[in-house]
Amino acid sequence: MVPMNSSCAELRPESAPGQNEDRIIRVFVGLPEQKRAPLPPGHPRHRLALYALERQDTWTPEAHGVFWTAALCQWPAVGGARRTSEDLAVAAATLAREGLTVKQIALALGVKADTIHARDGTRPSPDVGEDTLRVREARQESQGVRLRRALGRLWEPERALPRVYLDRTDAPEDGTFNPLIALLPGSLVTAPAGDRYLARADAKRRELWHARRSANPRLEWAERERASMVAVSEEV
């Protein structure tokens, strides 16, 4: 059984044991992946979700991490087209930040330029991907904060992700993904096509970086200095 922190406050009324056995349960993972399926009563994983619903507000960081290390591999996903489109948009935005044109981005990602040409809400353009990147960056915390949370300080169970909630209730809008969760193979649900776009973008970004470094030997020295200054500031 997953250990619990008995010193925490009592369970919330909506999470009382046995009260929600006939309710659909959803999860907000807080990581970029495909949408997870809602679990109705009778689903093989419904009792797993119910267990989390009844206990998540009392868990320590360690208990939450142990549970979700296993549970992420077992919670099914639904859909996939949106995830692939989002991955393509993020990949395009990543290369747009490197100064590439739409044609150059399309060539690097192996798609037609028209696929990522315009921002009209139906195509994964660099502009759409840039919006996603900015949202993700705004939610990131410093490594120092993440480590303090991992050690139990600043721990807020109600903001820990993943988090389950009842269908037809408000979904969590944000929170902190617990760094004690081990992302085992199969933990994240991603689309193979989307993964390939992201991998191509990352490979192209590395290629551009190495090309710039070869053209400007002082760049490597400057980046080492910057990394050193960032490390010192985080220690302070």
Per-residue tokens: 134? 């900015």
Residue 19 has pLDDT above 80, yes or no: no
What is the C-alpha end-to-end distance of the chain, expressed in Å? 40
* pLDDT band at residue 21 under the 50/70/90 scheme: confident
Torsion of CA 114, 115, 120, 126, to 10 degrees: -100
Instruction: State residue 226's pLDDT score.
Output: 65
Cβ–Cβ under 8 Å, residues 92 and 98: no
Q: Is 26 in a helix, a strand, or coil? A: strand
pTM: predicted TM-score of the whole model, two decimal places: 0.68
Cβ–Cβ under 8 Å, residues 108 and 91: no
Strands (E), 113-226: 160-161, 163-166, 176-177
State the average pLDDT for the chain. Answer: 82
Cβ–Cβ under 8 Å, residues 41 and 22: yes
Instruction: State residue 89's pLDDT score.
Output: 93
* pLDDT band at residue 119 under the 50/70/90 scheme: low
